[in-house]
Chains A and B, each alone.
Chain A
């Protein structure tokens, strides 16, 4: 089955620091890849996506590149803000017939002023 290995948290950074959250996956076929973000007490929001190898997804200053050769989809942001404090989930979507979104365990990010 599919699986996701996501960087363990919590991660604490100072404002304007560089962020990397690592994600590697195993999945059936050629999955689409997603990063979701969950702010405290809220549901998940789609942050960015990539649907094929070498695609780069980007949104709100965050980026992730679909690396088929390393089965990775690392999340990066050049300068984090306090408002980026949240839990981030990496999730490949794949399947044969019945597609499943497989979530990583989540990485909690805290950004301090």
Chain B
């Protein structure tokens, strides 16, 4: 089945230690998104790629970066995680920006 895959499902990192979360898709979608979801809250868009074009949300901290080396993969890099960055990180894809988004299972990040 075509799908959105996130690895790992659970990630523990130390305060200030860089961490990378990964997302891959077999849907061949043009757009890939990263959302942050804190407990009992709605997902918050961090940034998205339309093909190779990177679009950052205005309020996304500089501590968060992203890379998309090819159509299938997209990475979220947190350069210096703080305790406040502990959250579920959701990757999503869509055929185009005006189409429905398909989400992966998420990576739950714990910062110790």
Contacts and interface: CB of A to CB of B under 8 A. Distances in A.
Given A44-B103, A106-B41, 4 more contacts: A49-B100, A93-B100, A99-B98, A100-B45
B42 A46 contact: no
A97 to B, nearest CB: 9
Interface string B81-112: 00000000010100001101111111010000
A101 interface: yes
Nearest to A101: B101
A89 B102 CA distance: 14
Contacts, number: 45
A52 B12 CA distance: 43
Given A89-B42, A98-B55, A105-B42, A42 B105 contact: yes
Interface residues of A, number: 21
14 contacts: A32-B98, A32-B100, A41-B108, A42-B105, A44-B90, A44-B103, A45-B103, A46-B100, A49-B100, A95-B98, A98-B55, A99-B97, A101-B101, A106-B42
A41 B108 CA distance: 9
Contacts of B104: 43
